[in-house]
Homo-oligomer: A and B are copies of this chain.
Amino acid sequence: MSDDDLRHAVLRANLDCVNHGLVVSTFGNASGIDRAAGRILIKPSGVPYDRLSAGDMVACDLDGRALDNRLRPSSDLQTHAVLYRAFPGIGGVVHTHSTYATIMAQARRPIPCLGTTHADYFHGTIPVTRDLTPDEIARDYVLMTGEVIAETFAALDPLAIPAVLVAGHGPFVWGRTPDEAAHNALILEEVARMAWHCMVLDPAPQPITQALLDRHYLRKHGAGATYGQGQP
């Protein structure tokens, strides 16, 4: 993907989050990475969405240092950078404050797999991070947010469960591309909405069986995928 294509993909991921109602005010940011070039492109900080252009996306290296000086990158850049370093298979990261995912993050409730909508995208429970300690917050809050996500995924496959709820904060979502990350963020919000409603009827709702989870997840992912029009 050319730099220009990636710039447009990152812009599109940012705008998709807004157009799907996942972002309140300017609370959200999307990024993408060119692994070969070691370059992250991310939304600039605090710029209104209706004025964003592809050229505004800020180029940074994998350590989160801006490569040009025109606009300041999103204040969450260091979290994105940690995720790109910790999860080598991902190509896009999205952070939103979408309503139900944020509610579950605030309530510190992992989202069990209660249905096939969830199973089509997330191969198991979507976890919640532990709280950051006051010391971690004081030392380097944004970076440590990334580190606590990586810690949460120590025994999980980030491509099989491409989202996390940061305790008391909100969701970070990723994918192989910025477009996929934004799409996963939309599905996460719907999955969180349904899980919240199920938990209100039943505080410990029954997950679907492992057989059904596997059937749906593997229908859309991996070598045996049977969904869609296939590859040309």
Contact = CB atoms under 8 A, between A and B. Distances in A.
Interface of A: 24-25, 27, 44-47, 71-72, 75, 97, 99-100, 102-103, 105-109, 114-117, 120, 131-134, 137-138, 141, 168-170, 183, 186-187, 190, 193-194, 196-202, 205-206, 208-212, 215, 219, 226-230
Given A109-B201, A131-B209, A196-B197, A27 B117 contact: yes
12 contacts: A24-B186, A72-B228, A75-B227, A100-B197, A105-B115, A106-B198, A131-B208, A131-B212, A132-B212, A133-B211, A134-B210, A137-B209
A60 to B, nearest CB: 16
Given A46-B229, A200-B201, 18 more contacts: A27-B117, A45-B228, A46-B227, A71-B229, A72-B229, A75-B226, A75-B227, A97-B117, A99-B193, A99-B197, A103-B201, A105-B115, A106-B194, A107-B201, A138-B215, A141-B215, A196-B201, A200-B200
A65 to B, nearest CB: 16
A183 B120 CA distance: 26
Nearest to A211: B134
A212 B102 contact: no
Contacts of A116: 168-170
Contacts of A200: 200-201
Task: Give the number of times this chain occurs in the complex, counting copies.
Answer: 4
